[in-house]
Amino acid sequence: MNKPTTEQQLIIEGAGCASCVGKIETALKNTHGVERAEMNFADRTVLVSGTAETEALINAIESAGYNAKALNDSPGSDALEDKEAADWAYYKKLIRDTVIALSLGIPLMIYGLLIGEMTVKTTFQRGAWLVVGLLTLGVMYFSGKHFYVGAWNSLKNHSANMDTLIALGTGTAWIYSMLVVFVPDVFPLMARHVYFEATAMIIGLIDLGLALELKARGKTSEAIKRLIGLQAKTATVIRDNKEVQIAIEQVLLNDVIKVRPGEKVPVDGVVVEGHTSIDESMLTGEPMPVEKEQDDEVVAGTLNKSGMILFKATRVGKDTALAQIISMVKRAQNSKPPIGRLADVISAYFVPVVMIISVLSALAWLNFGPEPALAFAIVSATTVLIIACPCALGLATPMSVMVGVGKAAEAGVLIRNGEALQTASKITAMVLDKTGTITEGTPKVTDIVVANASNEKSVLQLAASLEDGSEHPLAMAIVESAHDQDIELLKTEGFNAITGMGVEGRCEGKALLFGNSKLMATKGVDIGNYSEKAQALAKEAKTPMYFAVDGQLAAIIAVADPIKPDSVAAIKRLQASGIRVIMLTGDNKETAAAVAKKAAISEFFAEVLPEDKANKVQELQWQGDVVGMTGDGINDAPALALADVGFAIGTGTDVAIESADITLMRGSLHGLADAIAVSKATLRNIKQNLFGAFIYNVAGIPFAAGVLYPFFGVLLSPVIAGAAMAFSSLTVVSNANRLRLFKAKDH
Amino acid sequence: MMMINIVGLAIIALIIWWFWLYKPDQTVTDSNEVLIEVKNGVYSPASIQVSANQPVTLKFLRKDESPCSEVLLIPSLDISEQLTLNEVTPIHLENVPQGEHTFHCQMQMYRGVLTVV
């Protein structure tokens, strides 16, 4: 088979001069299958037509000494527009099919209801019903062809789906009716009934259901559409000292990009010039604009509010934070929580089981039914096939997950998969790391109590010199305090961090120790009655640390890390939803108690070494709790991984937190309460959907088979079954859509 | 009546055999690319056998307008892909564990199996 000729556009990297154009074009033209290759030097793209694979083209360009990539690897909105156009075309087709089928079905049904003569008794009736039968065949072809082709293909593949049921149901009704028309004498007089109206109505109603479902489905992906819509389409790049407006797919790493006030940041990068404030709320949910100046990171999709900036692109295409968020949300939207697995197992066996029930039902009527038994058998078999709705069962979980995960993303909560979503809804205990989670994570020196030292300044100089280079937040607070006071730092030697206790080192010939009381006790430093002073500081929610010089206590330095303004409110929201909130900190007990009290938390673990965080999570699990752990995602990785659900508090738009099940893109703990609220709402929605779908099928199928007939003389009409089936899956999708109205509480 | 009952039971036996007991032939491929058409409610081919030693790219060409065919899932490999209409969506697989990996749409109405030997 010949491959069709296609056009492909590639972006070229490393083409610095006009002479590269010829080299690249020649390399491409020498590639097998290339008919034409034209390079646009201004935007560094090349348009290739022919039958060659993209990979072969990239290899050719690479062997010519350049790099290349296909121009379709960004989460651009074009694909989305294509999808919407395709959905719209399909919707119009379904509506047209519905109109054709119902134009025949409705008059026939009205005739049946008013006149009631849907039987073949006279020659005239035979002729008239033959015409109607042929018209119904036309409806089956024009409006229902997709059911029959789909059913036939599935059947050939030894599988069965919704098409199989509809094709068998409507086909049986039509064939039976045509047999009645052609050979009426074969059938008992009472069984000479035709069901053309059922065939036409069922096809029309199910097409209508599919069309409405398609519309409703479109709404379930609104969140992802909004995220994709954040992506700018063009960027102003400085190339050869000139501003060039290019498509964002053509932006290369290290390009310098200009963003004016009111424009979106097109790719991720670092500011090289200018100062501005940027609205990141669309990604993080954080309402306040963030100030940006040189060396600060900017993120694709965010909105430049005030000043003009130049920034250097550090992540483009699929690598931007926005693209990663989109792909993570898409992946999560399509993943299934465990609650949906039973429905999956049932779906896999559903259709053949319904076919068997249909045959059994027909046999039961033929054996035990009243006259006309044959007509009853045909009606019940057809109705069973038509009423059974595997779609409602199959759609119940994915539709809710799609909306729930999207809703969470809108609130700056990224849920990794369906399992995390389900477990988050069941959390009974939430462990919060103190620093950076409950508190700002940027501690400041508040007190220096001098013991055996000359003055505060010399204490701070030595302590800051020792801590310089350490990345511990408390150490950084000491160094920053020294910088603020213009204190020059000295050179230290033999720096050694003692996990869970503090640090030691030498400076200007002095042995320095800085850390908690355990460190002082281990190293034999007498702290005398200074422990009381330390306790007093701790009760004020400050973290006191001892500083010793040459084995003598020199001072206590206290550092405090303010609680985030909205932590208390968010913690109360968690507690109000019945969750035990537990604080975890490496701080001493007094400080931990003071911080916990301020944060309205009654349970805490203090003096926990970093490696013990995971053990504390496990202790709670052993107590029978479903444990959520919230931390910064880096230091707390083992605890996050061990917890039933790990929540990583991101800083801004840092989404690459692999150890977390759920990433909160803003620092506020309200994100945590939102995540749990949205998980609970989604799970409730899934349960409603599954319950509805199960009950519908469990009750509908026996009803269609005629179990009520012996008691009440009622047998369901296939047309009613068709309407019920068409609207059952629509109900599931619409119920999932209700989740779009979910709003996290005001905060 | 006896005859009708026998025919009915035979139909039931046929359904059980056709849908559950019969093992269809697999498309065995040595190539590292397999084109799978998504059309008229089915994946074609729906049953593919590949060798465990080599990477393979499953190229899904969606020609089916129905939104049901839009999402492809391979749960055992944690893969979910959106299939664009009238376009090929490649899924590159490497080091896939031996055994059967089913792929299907969200509702499991479109079904296929990838067997790695």
* Model pLDDT for residues A429-466, shown as the tens digit of each residue: 999 988 888 988 778 888 888 887 668 888 889 899 98
Q: Strand A67-70 to strand B99-104: parallel, antiparallel, or no bridges (unpaired)?
A: unpaired
Which is more confident, A743 or A308?
A308
CB A691 within 8 A of CB A678: no
- Overall size of chain A counted in residues: 747
How many beta-carbon contacts under 8 Å exist across A and B? 116
Q: Between chains, do A158 and B22 touch, taking CB under 8 Å as contact?
A: yes
How far apart are the two ends of chain A, measured CA to CA in Å?
A: 62
CB contact under 8 A, A90 and B67: yes
Q: Kindly report the number of other CB atoms within 10 A of residue A185's CB atom.
A: 7
Cβ-Cβ contacts under 8 Å for A486 (sequence gap 6 or more): none
Question: In whole numbers, what is the pLDDT of chain A averaged over residues?
Answer: 85
Once rounded to an integer, what is the mean pLDDT over residues A343-369?
90
CA distance A521 to chain B (A): 52
Phi-psi region of A486 (alpha: psi -120 to 50; beta: other; left: phi over 0): left
pTM value > 0.90: no
Tell me the chain A residues in contact with residue B66 when contact means C-beta distances shorter than 8 Å. Answer: 90, 146, 210
B108 and chain A in contact, CB less than 8 A: yes
The residue assigned the tokens 């990539």 is A69
Q: What is Dmax (Cα atoms) for chain A?
A: 122
Give tens-digit pLDDT for A630-666: 987 666 778 888 899 999 887 544 544 566 889 888 8
Which residues in chain B have their CB less than 8 angstroms from residue A83's CB? 84-85
What secondary structure does DSSP assign to A191-237, as a single string? G-B--HHHHHHHHHHHHHHHHHHHHHHHHHTHHHHHHHHTS-SEEEE
Model confidence at A74, in pLDDT bands (50, 70, 90)?
very low
- Give tens-digit pLDDT for A398-413: 889 989 998 898 888 8
Summarised one tens digit per residue, pLDDT across range A656-706 is 456 688 988 888 889 899 999 999 999 999 999 999 988 898 899 999 999
Closest to A481 measured CA to CA, from A558, A563, A536 = A558
> Are the beta carbons of B109 and A87 separated by less than 8 Å?
no
Structure tokens at A382: 């057809």
d(CA A673, CA A569): 10
Residue of A159, A351, A359 to mutate for B, most B C-beta atoms under 10 A: A159
- In this structure, of A259-268, A503-512, B67-76, the range with the lowest mean pLDDT score is B67-76
Q: What average pLDDT does the segment A80-96 reach?
A: 85
How confident is the model over A181-204, as pLDDT tens digits?
999 888 887 778 899 998 999 999
A355 pLDDT higher than 90? yes
> Does A186 contact chain B (CB < 8 Å)?
no
Mean pLDDT over A318-332 rounds to: 84
The C-alpha atoms of residue A626 and residue A365 are separated, in whole angstroms, by 52
Burial A504-534 (b: 16+ CB within 10 A, else e): bbebeeeebbbbbbebbeebebebeebeebb
pLDDT value, residue A250: 84
Q: Which residues of B touch A163 (CB under 8 A)?
A: 41
Which range is most confident: A380-384, A496-500, A659-663, A717-721? Answer: A380-384
Q: Which of A61-70, A277-286, A404-413 has the highest mean pLDDT?
A: A404-413
Over range A63-72, report the average pLDDT. 71
ipTM rounded to 2 decimals = 0.80
pLDDT for A1 beyond 50: no
**Residues A335, B80: C-beta atoms closer than 8 Å:** yes
Residues pairing with A498 in the sheet: A502
CB contact under 8 A, A359 and B42: no
